[in-house]
Structure 1
Amino acid sequence: MDVLTDDERAHALRLRAFLDEQVAPIANEYWAKAEFPMHLIKPLAETGSFGSAIPSVRQFENTAVFRGWAALETARVDASVATFVGVQSGLAMNSIAVGGSEEQRQEWLPRMATGEVLGAFGLTEPLSGSDSARGLRTTARRDGDNWILDGEKRWIGNATFADVVVIWAKDTADGQVKGFLVTTDTPGFTATKIEDKIALRMVQNADIVMSGVVVPESRRLQNANSFRDTATVLRLTRCEVAWQAVGIAVGAYEAALRYTKEREQFGKPIASHQLVQDLLVKSLSNITASIGLCLQASRMQDEGVQRDEHSAMAKAFATSKMRETVAWCREVLGGNGIVLEKGVARFFADAEAIYSYEGTREMNTLIVGRAVTGIAAFV
């Protein structure tokens, strides 16, 4: 935490205490039954977790470095809670902060910061994930003072209990992607929970279907007029997802380290075995390298010089190293590594989702490759 200011460090320690005391004891239980602990939402809001990047609603002045570290701290205890915060604060609230009018920001952001209003972010579709920039199939048709939305979304976190979903749809008139604030009680809007996931089981992902959903012009994000604006939101959050990946690796490493000191084989703790130490050191090295890259990317964001390729590199690298690390940590535990109560299995499973969402490793690599060569190799 030496990279944080004194005020930021105090808030980070407050967040860590909340997570250790209220989230850690119930994480396995809620993960196993695939339910989200709704009673934690208001206490999470009180820690300042929602809207921390938005000056008008954040509890205290902070940096991108702090926000990244907060994502690490949260994911270190549970990746599902970190993802919930990322959707509410990073994707939904930032969409309004970036793309909304001043009136829209005043209407929605204060209530979202307190957890009174819960949000979701609807971009990914059943047939459009990595190619959302061009392959978006959800349409928006202007009809007087209203817009008519038709289409489907998939993997939309928080959508089963959200009050409002930021829906990204293609305007049939000009072909541009625009953002809309769709309240979930709007006729023609349905959200159905995706069942039987093996990762992020606490996160309530949903399939969304919109059939003739009427949205007033006042609910169109007034400053979100192309996919460039969508990409701005993703750039702001992608680096925090990289920090989440580091947090997952840290959580798995800490559990594995504890286990090696408690578990005895051949008459001594397995921490004294050379091959076990090798796995622990490789894991710690991955974590250390990932923190260094994420820290630099966040500092560049604070300095206003971060570009797409910087956050893309951080996300691709950190999630790849996370995947290696959780596998090594599971290996340390042997057969016990697949049991929830031993502390690694949840991180091992959740890593697979973080590895893929907000841009796969391959897509983020191609973003960096385009910057390096000047040639886009996406298709």
Structure 2
Amino acid sequence: MANLFSSLKNAYQLFKSVDFQKLDALSKKVDLPKMVEAISSLDEKQLQGMMKMMGGSSRKKELPPIEGDFYQLGEEALNEEDRALQLKVRAFLEKEVKPIVNDYWLKAEFPHEIIPRIAELNVCGLTYKGYGCAGKSNLMEGILAMELARVDTSMSTFFGVQSGLAMGSIYLLGSDEQKQEWLPSMQQFKTIGAFGLTEPEVGSGAAGGLNTTVKRKGNKWVINGQKKWIGNAPFADITIIWARDLDDNQVKGFLVRKETPGFSVEKMHDKMALRIVQNGLITLTNCEVDEADRLQNANSFKDTAKVLQMTRAGVAWQAVGCARGAYEAALAYTQKRKQFGRPIASFQLIQNHLVEMLSNLTAMQTLCFRLSQLQDQNLLTDEHASLAKVFCSMRTRDVVSRAREVMGGNGILLEYDVARFVADAEAIYSYEGTKEINTLIVGRAITGYSAFV
């Protein structure tokens, strides 16, 4: 009796749902008894196919998540605390930085209002011990550099100059007094730093001699020369200036305050890449610096190179972040963009581009993970860092190019983000040592012969 009641109830519900006007119209076009007989003869698979064709399936296709860490390296390599920090930084960047970067990139201006909020993350000087720093691993620092660049390479560069080049110079080469004076306030972004090594006529050849000179006069040092491409310089409170001592021809480092007489900065304009980064042309004209502001443990270019070695690994991680941001943006686009009635992600050629991008990205990530492990084990060499810089900056170029390609004409529009990654990849390719210079560093290590001029 219960089964009979249930069948009658279902039949009644079906009867209520029938649109008899449509049914009458349909009966004039087709033989309904024959159609019902034909449908009843179909097996389950055929019925499902017919329903899919008719759009009868109410289930929306579930797509895989947009994820650039295909081998789950971050999830597996980090402890629970560090993984939580990574996700905290990612959430901050997605919420606070991503919505504004295209506007600031277009204007070539820096969002100064974001600095206090970055300070609240407490990640500056992440690997240093003391001075308010967290004493985390180099692997964790590399992953954070990647997270920053994944949203915007300019913000990652700003952070790298502050936390790596400027703070790193003081941490590695400064006296105890200099560390106590500067590092705590820099860690909190209350003091902004810059790193002045590159010159108008001296880039890759810095190791062979600088045109900026310094001469000691009593308890003062007098600096003359120019520095170019100096990130953060237009608004930095202090700049680490590297100059050649006229007396012993050795490179020395100095902490130069922005208000020092004879020190001036001109903002550089019309860049096609890293437009948010504020680069400056610094001119030093009889600029006097106290002996107390000379980096006490920076006495030759070999000391300068210690800072560069440490930060070059970070640039390789930046390249990973730039590539990952472009890949994830392109993948999301291909899942939504439709042509010929289908998402373009379903086309073979598009999938080929995406897999090529992911292959390069995954190779870059695994290389950088190993690089940071070597750094944490105090086994990092110049050639290790240089190989990562060469490979990652080259592969990033390929990834961003393919990302732009799968997006067609929209790939050159700033609103889709990939155009910014394409431009910024060109800067990553050149700074912290060009591909050619880093290649020769690795070549010298593996052959035993120096091919430098």
Q: Tell me which residue corresponds to 1:374.
A: 448
1:328 is aligned to 2:328: no
What is the aligned length? 379
Residue 8 (structure 1) shift: 1.1
> Which of 224, 241, 244 is residue 298 of structure 2 equivalent to?
224
Partner amino acid, structure 1, of 2:100: I
Partner amino acid, structure 2, of 1:90: G
> Which of 226, 229, 232 is residue 155 of structure 1 equivalent to?
229
Secondary structure of the structure 2 residue equivalent to 1:304: coil
Q: Tell me which residue corresponds to 2:85.
A: 11
Residue 61 (structure 1) shift: 3.3
Partner amino acid, structure 1, of 2:235: F
Which piece of structure 1 moves more, 3-12 or 116-125? 3-12
Matches within 5 A, 1:190-205: 190-205=264-279
Partner amino acid, structure 1, of 2:383: E
C-alpha distance in 2, partners of 1:84/1:26? 16
Q: Tell me which residue corresponds to 2:172.
A: 98
Q: Tell me which residue corresponds to 2:382.
A: 308
C-alpha distance in 1, partners of 2:211/2:232? 22
Over 3 Å off, 4+ runs: none
Task: Give per-residue Cα distances to partners, 1:8-60, cap 9 Å, x unaligned.
Answer: 11111111111011000001000000000001112112212311121113543
Which piece of structure 1 moves more, 126-135 or 75-84? 126-135
C-alpha distance in 1, partners of 2:173/2:181? 14
> Which of 160, 165, 184 is residue 86 of structure 1 equivalent to?
160
Task: Give per-residue Cα distances to partners, 1:271-299, cap 9 Å, x unaligned.
Answer: 01111001100000000000111111110
> Which of 134, 141, 145 is residue 215 of structure 2 equivalent to?
141
1:247 is aligned to 2:321: yes
Q: Tell me which residue corresponds to 2:203.
A: 129
Residue 339 (structure 1) shift: 0.2
* Contact 2:326 2:418 survives alignment (8 Å): yes
Partner amino acid, structure 1, of 2:98: A
1:171 is aligned to 2:245: yes
Q: Tell me which residue corresponds to 2:289.
A: 215
C-alpha distance in 1, partners of 2:138/2:346? 39
C-alpha distance in 1, partners of 2:351/2:132? 42
Q: Tell me which residue corresponds to 2:3.
A: none
Secondary structure of the structure 2 residue equivalent to 1:160: helix
C-alpha distance in 1, partners of 2:171/2:133? 16
Residue 267 (structure 1) shift: 1.1
Partner amino acid, structure 2, of 1:138: T
C-alpha distance in 2, partners of 1:151/1:51? 30
C-alpha distance in 2, partners of 1:62/1:201? 30
Work out the percentage of aligned pairs sharing the same amino acid.
56
C-alpha distance in 1, partners of 2:134/2:180? 18
* Contact 1:50 1:58 survives alignment (8 Å): no
> Which of 271, 275, 280 is residue 354 of structure 2 equivalent to?
280
Residue 149 (structure 1) shift: 0.2
C-alpha distance in 1, partners of 2:441/2:119? 34
* Contact 2:104 2:111 survives alignment (8 Å): yes
Q: Tell me which residue corresponds to 2:146.
A: 72
Matches within 5 A, 1:24-35: 24-35=98-109
Residue 62 (structure 1) shift: 1.3
C-alpha distance in 1, partners of 2:303/2:86? 30
C-alpha distance in 2, partners of 1:257/1:289? 18
Secondary structure of the structure 2 residue equivalent to 1:149: strand
* Contact 2:209 2:244 survives alignment (8 Å): no
Secondary structure of the structure 2 residue equivalent to 1:140: strand
* Contact 1:35 1:201 survives alignment (8 Å): yes
> Which of 342, 352, 369 is residue 426 of structure 2 equivalent to?
352
* Contact 2:82 2:140 survives alignment (8 Å): yes
Residue 232 (structure 1) shift: 0.2
Structure 2: tracts of 5 or more residues without a match: 1-73
RMSD over equivalenced CA pairs, Å? 0.8
Larger relative contact order (Cα-Cα within 8 Å, sequence gap ≥ 6): 1
